[in-house]
Amino acid sequence: MRGGGLLPVAGLLGVLAAGQWLLPAYHHANLVRIMVLALYATGYNIAFGYTGLLSLGHALFFAAGLYGASFAATLAGLPPGAALAAGTAAGGLAAAAVGVLALRTAGVAFMIVTLMFAQAGWLAILALGPWTRGDEGIVLPDAARALAGFDLSDDAVRYPLALALFAAGLLACLWLVRSRAGRVMVAMRENEERARMLGYDPFRVKLAALAISGTYAGAAGAAYALMFGYAGASLASVQYSILPLLWVLVGGAGTVAGPFVGCLLMFYLIDYASSLTSATLLLVGLALLVLVLFAPRGILGTLREKGVRWLP
């Protein structure tokens, strides 16, 4: 099973921790965003990479976290910690609610149904302009971003916070996929009918996986809102359902660290391509084409297949 060990994960987290002091300011700021988005991708991987649920609706769960935390901070006046918890819970609840309906379908139908839910959520955000401020979005006031006297707009503060969140998510994912429940999820991905004949209820297993995945998306969305002080409809668009899928595919579906690797690579690929041309997506597309040809199971997935078994 693609589980990997604790040691390489600890090594990756150690390198990221060192980045707090070693990275130049530009990359330091980038890594904050990458770690938050990698948390999102790690959760997506639980549904897609480990359970085989190809969702195109995760933008809804990310947005639930984003707006859940923003409303908790601005309307209810909750402190950032409570707002983060509210956003995380909103993501998990949204995923569970969507799952109850969408998991009655499978395969392409599941993709379409989840996409429809996410699009409905995005349209609702646009339609509820008086509260969500639509495309313009909500800008969180500085007071809502002060955590125990620390300013969350300061990179020196949000880097360790992003790292702590990402580390918690990554370690929880490692624990989950190495647990018995994780094996059942993989069994469901490998052969749902066979798992059913062993007495497992696919609906319950997949619903649990989707709810966990949504909780990750909610946490990432909430952290994004609180750290970058913004929640807008663009972050709930279909692009934010496709991006985690790409990150996971690039890094390696069903590998623990693959989503981070994919997110890191894609982030810098887009960043570099945009410095060369305005046709950024053309270069990104070519790079992805090369990757698909030479590493069809993603970077870590292919390396593991070629014998580097210790990669997480």
Partner 1 sequence: MLRIDAIDAGYGPTRVLHGLSLEVRAGEVLCVMGRNGAGKSTLMKAIMGLVPAQAGSLTLDGVRTTGLPAHAVARLGIGYVPQGRRLFGELSVHENLEIGLMARRRGQRVRDHVLSLFPRLRERLGQTARTLSGGEQQMLAIARALCLEPKVLLMDEPTEGLQPSMITLIRETVRDLRATGVAILLVEQRVDTVLQVADRVAFILAGRLAEIADARGLDAGAPQFRQYVGV
Report the candidate in 184, 186, 189 with the shortest Cα–Cα distance to residue 53: 189
Q: Is 200 in the site for partner 1 (CB under 8 A)?
A: yes
CB of 266 to partner 1, least distance (A): 25
Query: How many angstroms separate the Cα of 211 from the Cα of each of 96, 171, 200, 218?
Result: 5, 18, 18, 10
Q: Is 248 in the site for partner 1 (CB under 8 A)?
A: no
Q: What track of x and - describes contact with partner 1 for positions 137 through 176 (by CB under 8 A)? A: ----------------------------------------
Q: Is 24 in the site for partner 1 (CB under 8 A)?
A: no
Query: How many angstroms separate the Cα of 34 from the Cα of each of 94, 109, 119, 139, 310?
Result: 24, 31, 25, 21, 24
Sign of CA dihedral 274, 290, 51, 238: positive
Distance of CA 254 to the CA centre of its chain: 14
CB of 206 to partner 1, least distance (A): 13
Q: Which stretch binds partner 1 (CB under 8 A): 18-26, 161-169, 194-202, 277-285?
A: 194-202
Q: Which stretch binds partner 1 (CB under 8 A): 30-38, 73-81, 141-149, 186-194?
A: 186-194
Residue closer to partner 1, measured from CB, 24 or 199: 199
Query: How many angstroms separate the Cα of 111 from the Cα of each of 38, 48, 124, 215?
Result: 22, 11, 20, 19
Residue closer to partner 1, measured from CB, 19 or 202: 202
CB of 190 to partner 1, least distance (A): 4
Sign of CA dihedral 309, 165, 270, 50: positive
CB of 196 to partner 1, least distance (A): 4
From candidates 202, 280, 284, 287, binder to partner 1 by CB under 8 A:
202
Token readout for 216 is 């990750």
From candidates 28, 33, 133, 196, binder to partner 1 by CB under 8 A:
196
Cβ atoms of 254 and 50 closer than 8 Å: yes
Q: Is 194 in the site for partner 1 (CB under 8 A)?
A: yes
Q: Which stretch binds partner 1 (CB under 8 A): 100-108, 181-189, 215-223, 275-283?
A: 181-189
CB of 9 to partner 1, least distance (A): 20
Query: How many residues line the site for partner 1 (CB under 8 A)?
Result: 20
* Residue 141 per-residue DSSP state: P
Sign of CA dihedral 233, 237, 241, 246: negative
From candidates 191, 234, 239, 277, binder to partner 1 by CB under 8 A:
191
DSSP reduced 3-state for 66: helix
Distance of CA 90 to the CA centre of its chain: 15
**Residues interacting with partner 1, by CB under 8 A?**
1-2, 180, 183-184, 186-187, 190-191, 193-202, 254
